[in-house]
Amino acid sequence: MKILDGKKVSNDIKEEIAVEVSQMKERGEKVPHLAAVLVGNDGASLTYVGSKVRSCEKIGFESTLIHLPEDTSEESLLSKVEELNENPEIDGYIVQLPLPKHIDEQKVLMAVDPDKDVDGFHPVNFGKMALDMEAFIPATPFGIMEILKRYKVDTEGKHVVVIGRSHIVGRPISILMSQKGEAANCTVTLTHSRTKDIKELTLQADIIVSALGVPKFLKADMVKEGTVIIDVGITRVPDDSKPKGYYITGDVDFEAVSPKASFITPVPGGVGPMTIAMLLKNTLLARARHRS
Ligand code: GUN
């Protein structure tokens, strides 16, 4: 069993980007500038956005955090999005999800300029991705593809079972892994809450990508020997004995499943750090596209 060390790989990617940024500075060029919009005070979102901004600082990007109150109206959020679209200083930005219930998430994502949509959530980017055209790929599936590539995991002709059909992870990773190319050329089965017998399918999988958000959902009796396991779940489980009052766990019962796996991503330290690295990569790409 080999650990797919997302923390290490994401640090490698960040170092590679930092080198490019310092070369940009030497040439007197503008460095990439990422903005993040956060509405409200959701604990996990505050952590993620804080981590994205700190990573920008570390690698030499400009960053701007726009923190709006929970009761921000849809109209004023849309006008903030419009401002970001028009601001030539900003190369890319994200609107952190989930948004408060009174705001129509789809309407907001549709308002983002696809050329600045470094989350890859706009239908133009999603459509281009599905059609094998150049596009911003959502950071989490992009990170999964990258970690598989860097560890040279053989995906050619393999059967991938994806668990979860979210727009952010399950749906896009099922498209990407079925496409032609490195870390791809797979046969994909996309399972979800209405799938009749998930275990019957996971037992046939060479690679399992679990993006469900149910702690320890994937048990040892659901996987065959030698399976590659990608755990996208990050759930905060309340626990008063922990310093933060919770602990983080994935979708996979790691202790029981890992001895059967050929490769496995841990939680934390697997897919999570990769997501941030790929968001930075998308922002670097956005800067390059705006320059040309
Ligand atoms: N919420 C959970 N994951 C993500 C992400 O990748 N981007 C944004 N904007 N919000 C999220």
Instruction: Flag whether 91 is in a domain.
Output: yes
Model pTM? 0.97
Cα 206 to ligand 1 centre (Å): 28
Does 164 show up as a binding residue in the annotation? yes
pLDDT tens for each residue of the chain, 292 residues long: 999 999 999 999 999 999 999 999 999 999 999 999 999 999 999 999 999 999 999 999 999 999 999 999 999 999 999 999 999 999 999 999 999 999 999 999 999 999 999 999 999 999 999 999 999 999 999 999 999 999 999 999 999 999 999 999 999 999 999 999 999 999 999 999 999 999 999 999 999 999 999 999 999 999 999 999 999 999 999 999 999 999 999 999 999 999 999 999 999 999 999 999 999 999 999 999 988 7
| Closest atom of ligand 1 to CA, residue 95 | 9
139 lines ligand 1 (CB under 6 A): yes
Instruction: Flag whether 108 is in a domain.
Output: yes
207 lines ligand 1 (CB under 6 A): no
In the Cβ-directed half-sphere of 42, how many Cα atoms lie within 13 Å? 15
Instruction: Flag whether 278 is in a domain.
Output: no
- Residue 158 sits in the same domain as residue 95: no
256 lines ligand 1 (CB under 6 A): no
Instruction: Give the residue whose CA is nearest to atom 9 of ligand 1.
Output: 96
Instruction: Give the pair of three-digit tokens for residue 89.
Output: 């200083």
- Residue 152 sits in the same domain as residue 254: yes
Instruction: Flag whether 18 is in a domain.
Output: no
Instruction: Give the pair of three-digit tokens for residue 90.
Output: 């900003």
Q: Would you state the pLDDT for residue 291?
A: 81
Instruction: Flag whether 101 is in a domain.
Output: yes
183 lines ligand 1 (CB under 6 A): no
- Residue 104 sits in the same domain as residue 193: no
Instruction: Give the residue whose CA is nearest to atom 8 of ligand 1.
Output: 96
| Closest atom of ligand 1 to CA, residue 96 | 9
ipTM value: 0.94
| Closest atom of ligand 1 to CA, residue 279 | 6
Among the listed residues 103, 98, 139, the one whose alpha carbon sits nearest the alpha carbon of residue 121: 139
- Residue 109 sits in the same domain as residue 207: no
Among the listed residues 32, 39, 120, the one whose alpha carbon sits nearest the alpha carbon of residue 76: 39
In the chain, how many domains are there?
Answer: 2
274 lines ligand 1 (CB under 6 A): no
- Residue 40 sits in the same domain as residue 87: yes
Does 90 show up as a binding residue in the annotation? no
- Residue 267 sits in the same domain as residue 202: yes
97 lines ligand 1 (CB under 6 A): yes
Query: Catalytic positions, please?
Result: 52, 96, 119
Instruction: Flag whether 233 is in a domain.
Output: yes
| Closest atom of ligand 1 to CA, residue 139 | 6
Cα 90 to ligand 1 centre (Å): 19
- Residue 143 sits in the same domain as residue 260: yes
Instruction: Give the residue whose CA is nearest to atom 2 of ligand 1.
Output: 97
CATH assignment at residue 89:
3.40.50.10860
- Residue 148 sits in the same domain as residue 262: yes
Does 168 show up as a binding residue in the annotation? no
Instruction: Flag whether 119 is in a domain.
Output: no
Cα 97 to ligand 1 centre (Å): 5
- Residue 86 sits in the same domain as residue 171: no
DSSP tag of 73 = -
Stated length of the chain: 292
Among the listed residues 142, 137, 118, the one whose alpha carbon sits nearest the alpha carbon of residue 127: 137
- Residue 151 sits in the same domain as residue 244: yes
Does 262 show up as a binding residue in the annotation? no
- Residue 149 sits in the same domain as residue 231: yes
In the Cβ-directed half-sphere of 164, how many Cα atoms lie within 13 Å? 22
CA distances from 137 to 38, 97, 262 (A): 21, 17, 27
Residues spanned by the domain of 106: 27-113
CATH assignment at residue 207:
3.40.50.720
Instruction: Give the residue whose CA is nearest to atom 4 of ligand 1.
Output: 97
